[in-house]
Amino acid sequence: MSTWYERLENIDPRWIYLLVYIVIAIPIIIPLPSPLAITPYTRDAFEAVEKLPPGSLVVLSFDYSGANPELHPQAIAVLRHVVRRPLYIYIVGMWSDGPVMADQIWKVIDKTGYDPEDPTKLITKEYGKHIVNLGYLATTALIVGVYDTITKMMTIDFYGNSIDSLPLVKKFDGIKYASLVISFAAGSPGPATYLQYWATQNPNMKFVVGSPGVSAPGFMPYYEAGKLGEIGYVGVIISMRGAAEYETLLGEIGLTGAVAALNAQSAVHYLLVVVVILGNLGYYLRKYGGGGR
């Protein structure tokens, strides 16, 4: 017969699964307002877009697939932001699914924004003129090549349009004209490829990364370098929370659904802390209080 503290140390994982299910389900079923502090990482990412002069070119790289629920809300918020601002946009993806994810967002997103040629005028952004989905950057040669000249490396865009026929490509025939590159990165290949091939050629090009929570610590050395003006990232959007922060900064609450998921995320974070403490409590009681091994 095991003692209570031994049972505390060896809770059946199925009870833990049930608890996880409950603490995620309740905040989703009963939504409550959630206070949110904006981290400097997200604020820097937001400011990087906000400070771009009108008429600048931004590259959004969708480096994730449909299996990354943390990155999609980030991508929705950022795409809406760059559409709203008077900017030109290229969409690429080092993951084959990436441009498809971008297409899904582009189909439903609000396309009103300020005209890059006349920043006081509110217009509906047009595909081909203000935004182009260049599609999947399948190879390193393509990543290197489109930096110099897009028309040399590609014949069609994501939708099968002739690349020469797109006014935006005529205006900016190369990624080298971009002021900011934002990569939503689920893994490898990821934004380090852009740092290697693009940032080394153009020190003025800025980079922002959207990261799942688990990968964020790995981006931090580059973020610190980016803050110092070296090759690196000038902002990092971290996890679903980063998406919610971006959405809040954008002032379009409800855009991505991330804010609504925050309470569930908080609850599961606290559950993790509680079960870890319980496990350690059982361990110490057995070891020091109950004639343990």
Partner 1 sequence: MAISLADYKRSIPLILCFIFGILYAFEWYVDIRVGDFSLSYYLEHDMLNYFNAMYSVAIGIGAINIFRIHYRRFTRRRKYWEYSLLVLILIPVMAVISVFGGRWAIDPKGVVVPRWVYDSLAPTWNFLYWNIMSLISQTMFSLLGFFIISAGYRAFRARNIDSIILLISGILVVLGQAPINASVWPGFETIKNWLMDVPNVAGRRGILLGAAIGALAYGVRVIFWYERRPTLAGGE
Cα 21 to Cα 70, 241, 268, 274, distances in angstroms: 18, 20, 9, 15
By CB under 8 A, how many residues form the interface with partner 1? 57
- Indicate whether 34 belongs to the interface with partner 1 (CB under 8 A): yes
User: Looking at 43, 213, 215, 257, which residue binds partner 1 (CB under 8 A)?
Assistant: 213
C-alpha pair distances (Å), 219 with each of 49, 57, 239: 19, 24, 13
> Hey, which residues between 2 and 31 contact partner 1 (CB under 8 A)?
11, 13, 16-17, 19-21, 24
Q: Toward partner 1, which CB reaches closer, 112 or 162?
A: 162
Nearer to partner 1, 171 or 287 (CB): 287
Residue with tokens 């993951």: 95
Task: Tell me whether residue 122 or residue 276 sits nearer to partner 1 (CB atom).
Answer: 276
The answer to the question of residue 187 lying near partner 1 (CB under 8 A) is no
Note whether 239 binds partner 1 by CB under 8 A.
yes
Contact (Cβ atoms closer than 8 angstroms) between residue 101 and residue 65 = yes
Q: Which residue, 50 or 270, is less far from partner 1 as judged by CB?
A: 270
**Could you say which of 42, 56, 61, 68 contacts partner 1 (CB under 8 A)?**
68
Tell me the C-alpha distance between 163 and 157, whole Å. Answer: 6
Burial of 84 per CB tally in 10 Å (0-12, 13-18, 19+) = buried
DSSP 68-125: -TTHHHHHHHHHHHHHHTT-EEEEEESSTTHHHHHHHHHHHS--EEE-SSSTTSEEE-
Specify the stretch interacting with partner 1 by CB under 8 A; choose among 47-55, 87-95, 175-183, 257-265.
Answer: 257-265
In angstroms, the CA 271 to CA 263 distance is 12
Binding of partner 1 by 272 (CB under 8 A): yes
**Shorter beta-carbon distance to partner 1: residue 160 or 291:** 160
270 lines the binding site for partner 1 (CB under 8 A): yes
**Helix (H) and strand (E) counts for the chain?**
12, 8
109 binds partner 1 (CB under 8 A): no
Q: Does 67 bind partner 1 (CB under 8 A)?
A: yes
